[in-house]
Structure 1
Amino acid sequence: MLLEEMLKIDRRVLRQVILPYRCVALDAEDIIPLQRTLRRPTAMYATKLLPRCGYRLPLRRAFQTAAAPNSRASDFAFAFDIDGVLLRSSDALPRARKALTYLQTQRIPFILLTNGGGKHESERVAELSSKLDVAIDTSMFVQSHTPFADMNDLKDKTVMVVGGVEDKCRRVAEAYGFKNVVTPGDILVAHPEVWPFSQQLLSYYKTFTRPLPAPIDATTPSTSLRIDAVFVYNDPRDWGLDAQIIKDVLLSERGIIGTLSKKNGNPALENRGYQQDGQPPLYFSNPDLLWAAKYHLPRLGQGGFREAFEGIWAAITGGEAQGVKLQKVVMGKPHQPTYEFAEKRLIAHRHNIMQRYGSPSGHLKRVYMVGDNPASDIAGGNDYRSPYGTDWASVLVETGVYQKGTKPTPQPRNIVGDVWDAVSWAVAQENWVSSANTP
């Protein structure tokens, strides 16, 4: 028997309330309150209907604020930063849920594109779904180190992961498929002499570090620990230790810890011989110098650590004045590779939405990049050149890093108060008219 016949409700209510949130089959305990509530006004029964699908879905207020779907398929989409746009530290900003719920009801695709990280994507979207009261899954989410999951050629190598709380980033890397992951803390516990200024932290490190997969012995480099890549996944918590270990690896011979390359400082070689002796590549996932935390002024981020390390590197090698540059790969906004990865994820997510509702996908003409940081969100949106010919329009909000009343550099397409204002402006630009209220 059809569900609508069993509950004696009309197809219109079933279509508007249940089908957009295809979760699991309802069981008996769901059906009884459903029978009592589905005859009441929508705004009343929406508060009682809670699908059993892992997250509490955005039904509670959605029907009071969100418009009915537009009859046309959306040829535009959104990419939202998180910190300073949807959240302030760990707290949802006032109209974030309203904005995302409206887009979901309108079937307008969006992804969350953040320079944050430090947790696996599945863990982060569960937290965001709870905090924002909006259903989010990993297909809609790209964080700073998500592209590392595609680096299959390094997954059987020994890599060093830096940053984050305890060894959470190690576990993220392992979830991505990396089989041999070490951290600076592992090295410190095995050889406390490598950084004498973290001795008071040894008991803390011992609670989560692991034995090294190989010894550190410069006298027998053939069997000594060799690092094949260095990944800074998240903001380092122990800058001194992390900078020391990264420096040692980059000055080593072929990434073998405890060795020193004889090519360092050779003026006859490219980059004066630095990083020319099989040393591992160095990847930073997040270029943000500052980020919006609970404190009323912005705090230093991973970009601050990178700038500090580049200063150390220049002091040791002579820096650009001597023709030496730190060779590294920086991911995250505003860099092109991150936007390319995010656009592919957004296109796939949009295709799934259109396919679900039987709408033709067509060409994605425009993406509105909504962010709070001119140096990352706005610069990235402005500079990105889509291989698909999609226009990326940057929108700056005043709820994060950007200080209201100042002149941002670079300039966005528009400056608005918050994320709801950004969505309202964008849908107006697209002449998007729904069959009910618009933003």
Structure 2
Amino acid sequence: MKATDILILLSSTLSRTSTAALINNRKTSPSLFRPPPQPPSLVTTRGFRDDTFSKPPSSIGKRWTRPDSATSSEWEAPSFAFAFDIDGVLLHEKAPLAGAAQTLALLDYYHIPFILLTNGGGKFEADRVAELNEKLGSHMTTENFCQSHTPFQELLPVYRDKTILVTGSDYEKCREIMEGYGFRSVVTPGDIFRAAPEVFPFDTVRGKVGRDLPKPIWRPRKEAGEHHQGSKGMVRDTEQEEREGKLEDHLKVEAMFVLNDPRDWALDVQVFIDLLQSKQGYVGTYSEENNKGRWQGDGQPKLFFSNSDLIWAAKYHLPRFGQGAFQHALVGIWNEVTEGKKELVRTSFGKPHRETYEYAEEMLVRHRGGWLRAKGYKEGEIEGGLKRVYMVGDNPESDIAGANDYDGKGKYGTEWVSLLVETGVFDATRMNFKDGDVRKADVVKPNVAEAVKWALRNEGWVDE
């Protein structure tokens, strides 16, 4: 491959400038990508404007020494890293956006740490990484990839051997993923529908065969004096429970997970609302505590969402609803059921929520530390070395708001800088945020390549 087919950063007329100064001034940069003397084979000029390139530099500063060919004393380790959203930043639908592949290859070649941080999901991390590598010509692993439900693995110590309910775009695939994480007893709304079709007495449920449940669903006997109707459902007394058997003999759900965008909203909402009103999570029961206004106060299952994205950039020319829309629908029905007396208690992962940024920061620290140790750096030189993360995203509601809100609040005190690109859901005519709004980005650039150029100039990673 010719040198003119390769990307690298070259000298800039800007001197090293603080992040705050560049953000406030909103300075733009000239083209920074130029061919290196020892090019990575995957980085080509395809997809860029012709004026993005120029001749190779006559000299390259030590920052641009290929890490593999330098000792720790010769190579300056980066104190910054990148976090990229995928849809609307690197890909549109399934096709790479211009400059995306080249940008990742450049960072990978010079061992500048980065992760992909997406609110997408519904597949195993390894499968998704393999697809992305094929599309982008990259060499990523699961060590620098985090999708919306990846942090669910952190809940294994609590729920590994307990029965959990999971839903998403494909019940069986969702079950496989959670079982792959290590959860040992996973059921779906389809399983419950199979065991008790009367749970959802409509003909809109298609192809939900489901599996056998680990325990039967509790059902009240329809005999006089053995049950009574509460204000919101069926309640049974202690004597009836003793006659029919202990609740422990029936299916109990300890937690409910929304893995990715659900398809059968009606069935899912029905099952979720039933369990949120249940006695201690036993399917088919109704807690008397609800009648006293103590909603979600009788050991009902915890509720977890993998993300809260209301909209996302799909093939259609207007944004499409995502998992956040399902969450809003569930909350709206819950408010009607409880007459607005109790806010739905739930935990949301994904961007913009802090738990996901904490997880991403830990991932970046591990990823950075791994190859620094391989280069011979000592622990004292590695710890605390990640000073700044550039979050590159297209969605002000998630990517940008999350980075701005998390900025400096993690255990490492790392600065998070938000870079908004215009290749996804962002529309300046509809999303004009004022100063102080958490959704307002530090910097706005037309695409991912320009965003990375700005960040690298800001870090002084070019010769003067």
TM range (shorter): 0.7 to 0.9
Does structure 1 retain, via aligned residues, the 8 Å contact 2:42–2:105? no
Pairs within 5 Å for 1:391-406 = 391-405=415-429, 406=431
Alpha-carbon distance between aligned partners in 1 of 2:190 and 2:386, rounded to the nearest angstrom: 45
Paired amino acid for 1:380 = G
More displaced stretch, 405-414 vs 170-179? 405-414
Query: What does the per-residue CA deviation read over 1:362-387, in whole Å, with 9 as the maximum and x for residues that have no partner?
Result: 61110001111101111110010121
Q: Which residue of 2 aligns with 1:110?
A: 114
Q: Which residue number corresponds to residue 136 of structure 2? A: 132
Q: Which residue in the other structure is 2:448 paired with?
A: 419
1:100-139 per-position Cα deviation (integer Å, ceiling 9, x unaligned): 1111122110001111111111111111111111111000
Match of 2:295 in 1: 274
Deviation at 1:404, TM superposition (A): 3.8
Distance 1:90 1:166 in 2: 23
| Residue matched to 1:237 | 263
Letter aligned with residue 184 of structure 1: P
Quick check: 97-106 or 404-413, which moved more? Answer: 404-413
CA distance in 1, matches of 2:290, 2:204: 33
Instruction: Label 1:411 to 1:63 Cα distance change in 2 as closer, same or farther (>3 A).
Output: closer
What secondary structure is seen at the aligned counterpart in 2 of 1:167?
A: helix
2:389 alignment partner, SS class: strand
Q: Does 1:329 align with 2:311?
A: no
1:377 aligns with 2:377: no
Tell me the residue number matched to 1:350. 368
1:113/1:142 contact within 8 Å kept? yes
Aligned partners of 1:265 and 1:420: how far apart in 2?
Answer: 57
Aligned positions, number = 372
State the 1:191 CA deviation: 1.5
User: How far off its partner does 1:238 sit?
Assistant: 0.5
| SS of alignment partner, residue 252 of structure 1 | coil
CA RMSD in angstroms comes to 2.4
Q: Which amino acid aligns with 1:328?
A: R
User: Where does structure 1 lack aligned partners over 5 or more consecutive residues?
Assistant: 1-15, 17-41, 47-57, 267-271
Q: Larger deviation: 170-179 or 352-361?
A: 352-361
CA contact (8 A) 1:62 1:101 kept: no
2:208 to 205, 211, 218: 205
The answer (yes or no) to whether the contact 1:214–1:223 under 8 Å persists in 2 is yes
User: Are residue 296 (structure 1) and residue 317 (structure 2) matched?
Assistant: yes
SS state of the match for residue 166, structure 2?
Answer: strand
Structure with the larger RCO, 1 or 2 (CA within 8 Å, 6+ apart) = 2
Q: Counterpart amino acid of 2:188?
A: T
Counterpart for residue 307 of structure 1: 328
The 3 A distance-change label for structure 1 pair 434 and 241 is farther
Letter in 1 for 2:455: A
Deviation at 1:218, TM superposition (A): 2.6
Counterpart contact for 1:109–1:353, Cα < 8 Å: no
Q: What secondary structure does 2:426 align onto?
A: coil
Q: Percent identity?
A: 49
Distance 1:200 1:100 in 2: 44
Could you say what secondary structure the match of 1:119 adopts? Answer: coil
SS of 1:201's equivalent in the other structure is: coil
Distance, in Å, in 2 between the alignment partners of 1:192 and 1:122 is: 36
Name whichever structure is richer in helix by fraction.
1
Taking structure 1 as reference, are residues 131 and 150 closer, same or farther at Cα in structure 2, changes over 3 Å only?
same
Alignment partner of 1:193 is 2:194: no
In structure 1, what residue type is equivalent to 2:432? Answer: K
Q: Who is 2:273 aligned against?
A: 247
Change in CA separation of 1:60 and 1:78 when aligned onto 2, cut-off 3 Å: closer
2:215: which partner in 1? 214
TM-score normalised by length of structure 1:
0.80
Out of 241, 248, 251, the position equivalent to 1:225 is 251
- In 2, the alpha carbon distance for the partners of 1:240 and 1:110 equals 39
- Aligned counterparts, 1:73-88, within 5 A: 73-88=77-92
Paired with 2:201 and 2:95, the residues of 1 have a C-alpha distance of: 38
Q: Write out per-residue CA displacement over residues 191-212 of structure 1, whole angstroms, 9 at most, x where no aligned residue.
A: 1111123x3534x222xx2111
CA distance in 1, matches of 2:427, 2:358: 29
User: What is the distance in 2 between the residues matched to 1:418 and 1:119?
Assistant: 27
Give yes or no for contact 1:265–1:317 (8 Å, CA) kept in 2. Answer: no
> Structure 2 counterpart of 1:345, which letter?
M
